Each structure stands twice: as structure tokens, then as C-alpha cells.
Amino acid sequence: MQASLFPDERPACAKAAPPARIQVGCAGWSLPRPMWPEFPADGTHLQRYAARFNAVEINSSFYRPHQTATYARWAASVPDHFRFSVKLPKTITHQQRLADCTGLLDDFLAQAGGLGEKLGCLLVQLPPSLAFDAARVRDFLRLLRERHAGPVALEPRHASWFTAPADPLLNAWQVGRVLADPVVHEAGRLPGGFAGLVYVRLHGSPRMYYSAYDRAVLDALVARLRLAATLDAAVWCIFDNTAEAAAIEDALYTVQGLSRTTHKDS
């Protein structure tokens, strides 16, 4: 992600929570020890994490199922305004490749349904080899929408998803196309699909999952998130550079910047 993509607006560094209409967090709620002073001392990692952020992305659901009771316990441990994004299992996206997955989808939605109203978004990340196929995508999204009316974000990685036919189909089913960084295809530098959902996933650059982002990039990101919110979009910003402490640090900086612009605008 290049800073020049976004208008520049530099935040201050006062501790604060993000504005309620912009969900900011990390892929998981692990708290690296060097970052502990930024969080309350008491509570589970999730409770401490939720004191500073209003969202988290659950990626473990991609690899293994969680019991409905586990989701319910997580939901009960966080504030009312907190929301979870949950990643669809790889059995649906990578093994079945969105086809013939009714039972798998029913099982997953029953499990994640334990989050109740705190289920904020579903994340559908596709394998890089899965090309856009309008019939397959339409069948899958129809199946999903018959069961789930809430926000859905889709992160494709094959070049064919960034061409004209894909966006109208996603828009028709109210599915937002993720803006993922590092950007693999030039057309992916902006979100796509349904304009009512902006979902940004930052994997770290130049070293994916490890690298922290330059402050200038985060400052520009803050301005872009605020702009999306003013256009009545549901806005999510998730840092996935979690291999070390970069995600937590970048997310905290982003929250502080959003707080500064919120106070300035009020």
C-alpha cells in the first residue's frame, strides 16, 4: 500500500477507542508481551484486547471448527459495541472451492451463530488459483444469502476477479471485495463490489505477516477510512501482520488517528 493512494492526515497519539462506525482490530487477539503496557492488566487476552479495539477477525475458524458455546463465550466477554469477523473454513473455500458445500456452510453458520448480534462480518478468502466463474459464484452467494443477511467480505486473489464482470455480481449480492495489502493486482488498490462495505486487510509490507507499516501510510489510511465512513459504508480495518508485535502497534496507531479526526470533526 502506497501512502500516495490516500489523502494525508496525521493523527495525534492520545489513547482512545475507534469511532463506533469504523471497526478496527487485528487477526486474532494475541497480545505480544512488549505491548502489554498498552492494555489493562486484568482479564483474558480477549477482554484486555477489547478494551482498546472494537473488532477482531477470527482466522482459526479457517483451519478448524469451534463449538457454538465457544463463540458464545467469546461474545459474552466483550463490550456490547464489539464485533467479530469470522473467516469461512478452508473446506468451503479451498477444498470445495465454493461448490457443493451446503452442509459445510450450515455447520459453520450454526457455530458462528453463537456470537449472536456480535457477529459483525463473514470473511470469504479464496485461494489464488480460484478464477472467477459467474455461475459458481452466483450459486454460492445465493446459498449464503438464503442463510445469512449480514455483511460479507470476499478476498479474491486470482486476476480474473478484478475485471468488469465480477464487481456487479458481488454488488448484486451485497458482498464487498476486500482491499488487501500487499496489492497483487493493480485493480485491487481500491475496494470493490458492494459499496456499502469497505473491508481493508493489511498483511504487512514488504515482508508479509511481519513488517510494520510506515506512519505516513497509516496516516493516509486513517483519512481513507474516515472518508468511507462519511459515505455511509460499514468500514472494517484488520491488521494481519501478526507474526510479531506489528499488528497491535499499527492498529493502536490507527485507532489514535481515528480518534483525533473524530474530535476535530465534532
Go through the domains of the chain in sequence order and give each one's CATH number: 3-265 (3.20.20.410)
Query: 13 falls in which pLDDT band (50, 70, 90)?
Result: very low
Q: pLDDT tens digit string along 18-70?
A: 444 899 999 999 999 999 999 999 999 999 999 999 999 999 999 999 999 99
CB half-sphere exposure, 178, CA atoms < 13 A: 28
Q: pLDDT tens digit string along 198-250?
A: 999 999 988 999 999 999 999 999 999 999 999 889 999 999 999 988 999 99
Give the Cα separation of 221 and 239 in Å (integer).
Answer: 12
Of the candidates 70, 7, 18, the one whose C-alpha atom is nearest the C-alpha of residue 237 is 18
Of the candidates 217, 218, 211, 161, the one whose C-alpha atom is nearest the C-alpha of residue 184 is 161
Highest mean pLDDT among 4-8, 151-155, 225-229: 151-155
What average pLDDT does this structure show over 106-110?
A: 98
Residue 126 has pLDDT above 80, yes or no: yes
What average pLDDT does this structure show over 124-131?
A: 97
pTM, whole model, 2 decimals?
Answer: 0.90
**pLDDT confidence of residue 14:** 30
Residue 122, SS3 per DSSP: strand
**pLDDT confidence of residue 264:** 52
